[in-house]
Structure 1
Amino acid sequence: MKTTWVAAFALALTTCGAPSPGGGPALGGPAVVSDPTLDEMDALVRKKFYSEAVLEKVQWPKLVAAARSKLGKVRTPEERVSVLQDLLAGLHTSHTEYLPRTEPKYWELASIFEEIFAEVPAQCPEKEKRLPSLPIAWQDIGVAWKRIEGRWFVGGVFEGGPAAKAGLLLGDEVVEADAKPFEPVAAFARRQDQTVELTYRRTRGGALAKVRVVPRTSQPAKSLQEAMRASARIVEGNGARLAYVHVWSWTGDTMQQELESAIARLNKEKPSGYILDIRDGWGGAAPDYMDIFHKDVPVLVSRNREGQEFRVDAKIRVPAVVLINGGSRSGKETMAYGIKKHALAKLVGERTAGAMVAGSAHCMPDGALLYLATASVQVDGEVLEGRGVAPDVEVPFDIRYAAGRDAQLDAAMRALSAQATTSLQGGPK
């Protein structure tokens, strides 16, 4: 069975909680709600959550009782989401979230775990009722969405996707889709190959503008893999040729193989430095993935009688920068920790998420995905949960209204370009 360090927990809303049979609560008592999802969630937390001490500390039964009472007062699906999200937030633990199908992370998580659901039926009972048809697919435009203070921002644009073709940029705030309030799943659902008009704001307090996009149907996990592949390129600055690749997801060997293939392609361009971007997206990296920095592996070069050269080299052998931020989670933090400890590259950006426990995903009765922390994790004996990994070079960056500019990437390019120039001039290395 595959394992992953991905964090997320999803709920797909269908109806609000209904009052329990019998005409309501006893006189003077709180409202009591029968909600199968809450019931199953409570049972799974009591049975599988990694720390009984945490459950005791937060008084989990009281949190559940309070949630039941609140569900008796909700009037909208959105209010129900908030109640259940707040309940899980009370555990103060990563890999324990609550997301409706109306949010992008639901679809990405479901896609990442779909093979596990097939292999472990207990994690997705009544799969046909609780899970969308397999393989998981949705309509999207190739954007890593970020919700900040209730607004949706472009947190990343996948190279070659509909959003990139339409001209959306990192930091754009998307306000409307076809003149309706923007929601990144609802806006494109069942709209593949149809035009959707987005209203967006590029600068803080600036005027609204419009752009037309054509959503595609895609499998989220494969889209993340394709986005990594498409991101791999050579960037030039101050006379230096730098290799760049963005690891949007590191969940499993397939992603590692894709990364190694990208490194091998870029190495043929003989870059003077590397920028490995592990900001945002999903974790999942196993510790041995750090082998990409193993310089002792020989470089194999062969030439045929026509003079064609074939190079086999999937290692980073030149100075490197690894970009991190608060969206670098889980397995990516294992990588950041090891890279920093062994001085394999310079970490640039912001402290990682501090989301370092192991978890399992479970399908809920209403179509939810519960991703629940089920085991503690230490890295070389250290606990990174709640702490994260600090960068070597701190570069704060608020993506909102960035208009495509990336302060952290710029800092990485400056550092590597200066190092490459010094080396070319015969200065200290």
Structure 2
Amino acid sequence: MAVTKRGLLLASTAVAVSAVTITGAGIHLSEGQAFFQESPKGLVDEVWQIIDRTYVDGSFNKVDWKATRTEYLNKPYTNKEQAYKAVREMLKKLGDPYTRFMDPQEFKNMQIDTSGELSGVGIQLAADEKTKKLTVIAPIEDSPAFAAGILAKDIITKIDAKSTEGMDVNQAVTLIRGVAGTSVKLTVLRGGKQLEYQLKRAKIEIHPVRASYQKDANGGGIGYIRLVQFSAPAPIEMKNAIEKLEKQNVSGYILDLRSNPGGLLFTSVEIARMWLKQGAIVSTVDRKGEREREQANNRALTDKPLVILVDGGSASASEILSGALQDNKRATLVGTKTFGKGLVQSVRGLGDGSGLAVTIAKYLTPLGRDINKNGINPDIEVKLSDEQRQALSGDRNKIGTAADPQYAKALEVLTQRIKAQQPTVPKS
């Protein structure tokens, strides 16, 4: 049941209402399928064994994990629903919203590939680690949630008038997902204000990379690249975008990671290598210490000046990429502090088609910064008001233009960096 690098997940994208950030490489099928169908207790023990071997916290949240096994194996189970309930109770002791059990339908939802057409409202959800409240990590661009103005950090308090108090993320996803064309009402809390959104579910096609050639203040050209998700096709789309812009002889780049909730770990590493010639990118640390360190491999596609836009919706894989380029002094970060999610998961298939997501490691930036719960601070802070954010959410065409205050600042910073690298002409 080895975990492949390409199958590793970053925890902030653990549950997506309209998308899932895993590919088949991240799913590990259980050898105990036949046994489970005869013995629901077998599933309980299998989950316990996986946690015992791989969970990132060797203290198991200061829980006597061996006693927990005894407790739950001594209970009678007459059907799989009882086993499912017991597994969820057992995992709750870990205090980790990202280590979670999925019944067969939930697990099937998790296996939707991010390159395909998806059905939902387009929000990435997580349970806040401190408050346990259902929190929006980021809306997906061109989705109903994005168009309606739902923002990162919004707290979902009701789903169709049903309170989310004490509700886990999987329950929320089940309530929010549905057939395209049907509606769901979300009540959110934002800065002390309660807001209601009536959303119509839709099919959502996600293209992770959007790029354009833009004129700078000096009449030259710069490359603007917006990366909305670290999905499986993102590296090839990023490579194509950079190569096309290089042929157009741009002088520098703005890479926009705002509201990017993350995705596949190895995708972030591959993309970092396109910008960074040498140096460390990220290290993953499990309960035994450093597990692996990823390095640049001298295959950068460009060495031109780079500014990265980040905000509170930039999470996990976005933080790996921006942290690596900031630590290596390859890029200047503009915007606001990132989300602060630095946990890595593997996803495993179990028994009758159910599944288990397990937090197996955390990641550190090249300089050893632990981003989990801390986030990354930009080099230059530019905050947006709620009105400005809503204006950009309501009119996507304004993003990456002069009407976008953070982009305008990034362009100013990039222009300065380009000038600083130009050779000085001696005076005669």
Q: State the TM-score bracket (shorter-chain normalisation).
A: 0.5 to 0.7
Give the corresponding residue for 1:344. Answer: 330
Q: Deviations over 1:181-229 (max 9, x none)?
A: 576533454422x23152545854556545341422x6xxxx5xx2423
Tell me, in whole angstroms, the C-alpha distance in 2 between the residues paired with 1:168 and 1:60: 43
Give the corresponding residue for 2:200. Answer: 213
| 2:321 is the counterpart of 1:335 | yes
Tell me, in whole angstroms, the C-alpha distance in 2 between the residues paired with 1:175 and 1:190: 19
Tell me, in whole angstroms, the C-alpha distance in 2 between the residues paired with 1:188 and 1:264: 40
1:169 to 150, 164, 169: 150
Aligned length in residues: 346
Structure 1: segments with no counterpart, 5+ residues? 11-33, 114-134, 297-312
Give the corresponding residue for 1:62. Answer: 67
| 2:248 is the counterpart of 1:261 | no
Pair 385,314 (structure 1): closer, same or farther in 2 beyond 3 Å: closer
Amino acid at match of 2:185: L
Contact (CA 8 Å) 2:159, 2:187: kept in 1 or not? no
Give the corresponding residue for 2:226. Answer: 245
Give the corresponding residue for 2:99. Answer: 97
Pair 336,87 (structure 1): closer, same or farther in 2 beyond 3 Å: same
| 2:47 is the counterpart of 1:41 | yes
Tell me, in whole angstroms, the C-alpha distance in 1 between the residues paired with 2:127 and 2:302: 35
Q: 1:416: how far off?
A: 1.9
Q: 1:258: how far off?
A: 1.9
Q: TM-score, normalised by structure 1?
A: 0.58
Give the corresponding residue for 2:124. Answer: 144
Q: 1:326: how far off?
A: 8.2
Amino acid at match of 2:95: A
| 2:423 is the counterpart of 1:416 | no
Tell me, in whole angstroms, the C-alpha distance in 2 between the residues paired with 1:170 and 1:61: 42
Tell me, in whole angstroms, the C-alpha distance in 1 between the residues paired with 2:251 and 2:420: 19
Give the corresponding residue for 1:280. Answer: 261
More strand by share: 2
- RMSD (Å), alpha carbons: 5.4
Contact (CA 8 Å) 1:281, 1:327: kept in 2 or not? yes
Give the corresponding residue for 1:4. Answer: 7
Contact (CA 8 Å) 1:336, 1:389: kept in 2 or not? no
Structure 2: segments with no counterpart, 5+ residues? 16-39, 165-170, 279-299, 394-399, 423-428
Report the structure number with the largest CA radius of gyration.
1
Contact (CA 8 Å) 2:211, 2:226: kept in 1 or not? yes
1:158 to 140, 156, 177: 140
Give the corresponding residue for 1:228. Answer: 208
Tell me, in whole angstroms, the C-alpha distance in 2 between the residues paired with 1:181 and 1:78: 23
Give the corresponding residue for 1:317. Answer: 304
Contact (CA 8 Å) 2:308, 2:322: kept in 1 or not? no
Tell me, in whole angstroms, the C-alpha distance in 2 between the residues paired with 1:146 and 1:56: 19
Pair 352,392 (structure 1): closer, same or farther in 2 beyond 3 Å: same
Tell me, in whole angstroms, the C-alpha distance in 1 between the residues paired with 2:383 and 2:264: 21
Q: Give the 3-state SS of the residue equivalent to 1:248 in structure 2.
A: coil
Q: Give the 3-state SS of the residue equivalent to 1:88 in structure 2.
A: coil
Amino acid at match of 1:284: L
Tell me, in whole angstroms, the C-alpha distance in 1 between the residues paired with 2:347 and 2:315: 20
Q: Give the 3-state SS of the residue equivalent to 1:185 in structure 2.
A: helix
Pair 152,320 (structure 1): closer, same or farther in 2 beyond 3 Å: same
Percent sequence identity over aligned pairs: 13
2:92 to 86, 94, 97: 86
Tell me, in whole angstroms, the C-alpha distance in 1 between the residues paired with 2:369 and 2:413: 33
Give the corresponding residue for 1:119. Answer: none
